[in-house]
Structure 1
Amino acid sequence: MLYKFKSRSTADLIMLEPTARQILQIIGKDPDGQHGIVTVAQIPGAIAALEAAVDAAENLGRADKDKAPDYASTNEDDQQVNEGEVIELRQRAVPFIDMLRRSAAENNDVIW
């Protein structure tokens, strides 16, 4: 299932269900509802919640890297990891945060 977020301030933002559900849960909205709204009054809180979640995810990632052994693997399979395939929460949340900021600046709600 796809989620389509709309605002009069921006182009539509389309997300796959797992990403949209995660973002909606972070901002305190019901991801099970087919339709919803982030009002202009709710936007600052939603942005703050998303930024806090992104920071927490990045700090968790740094802690995991600090625990990793400092030797290089000689196993060829270990060296074949494609780090570019991992998409972090920041990359998924930034377009939505941008939509929220633009909408707040023009006093428009965001709906889905």
Structure 2
Amino acid sequence: MLITFTSKAASEVLMYKEHAKRILDLLHKDVDQGVITAMEAPHALQVLEKEIEESRQHSVSEDVERDVHAHHNEDGDDTDHEQIQAVSFSTRAYPLVEMLRAAKAGGHDVVWGV
């Protein structure tokens, strides 16, 4: 399922719900419907930029964890290694971060699910 983020400050940002959930959980927002007000945007940017920096420092550990889960199924069988996910958290979050920057600068809200 897709989430569409909208703001008068920027073009729409589309994101898969599963990817948006990680971002919105960091901001303590509901994934189905919500708003990041212009006044909340500076704090939201601070939180996301910190998480982006953290994810860049620990990107290898995320890849290893994903790989371990991929080849140890419920029965304990060892299957083939999955391909390493090429899209990082920072890459996924970038369009929304840019929207938040524009929203902050223009004094606009960012909404989704409405």
Regarding TM over 0.5, the answer is yes
Shift of residue 63 of structure 1? Answer: 7.2
Q: Corresponding residue for 2:20?
A: 20
Q: Corresponding residue for 2:94?
A: 94
TM-score (norm: length of structure 2)? 0.74
Number of residue pairs aligned between Structure 1 and Structure 2: 95
Q: How does 1:1-112 map to 2 (within 5 A)?
A: 1-31=1-31, 34-61=32-59, 85-112=85-112
Distance 1:107 1:58, change over 3 A: same
Letter in 2 for 1:53: E
SS at match of 1:30: coil
Shift of residue 26 of structure 1? Answer: 1.4
SS at match of 2:14: strand
Shift of residue 9 of structure 1? Answer: 1.0
Distance 1:5 1:63, change over 3 A: closer
Letter in 1 for 2:89: L
Structure label with greater radius of gyration? 1
Please list every run of 5 or more consecutive structure 1 residues that lacks an aligned counterpart in the other structure: 65-77
- Deviations 1:10-55 (Å, cap 9, x if unpaired)? 1111101111111101122122xx3200001100110011111111
RMSD: 2.1
Percent identity, please.
28
Letter in 2 for 1:48: Q
Q: Corresponding residue for 1:75?
A: none
**Quick one: distance in 2 between partners of 1:53 and 1:8?**
26
Letter in 2 for 1:106: G
**Quick one: distance in 1 between partners of 2:91 and 2:60?**
16
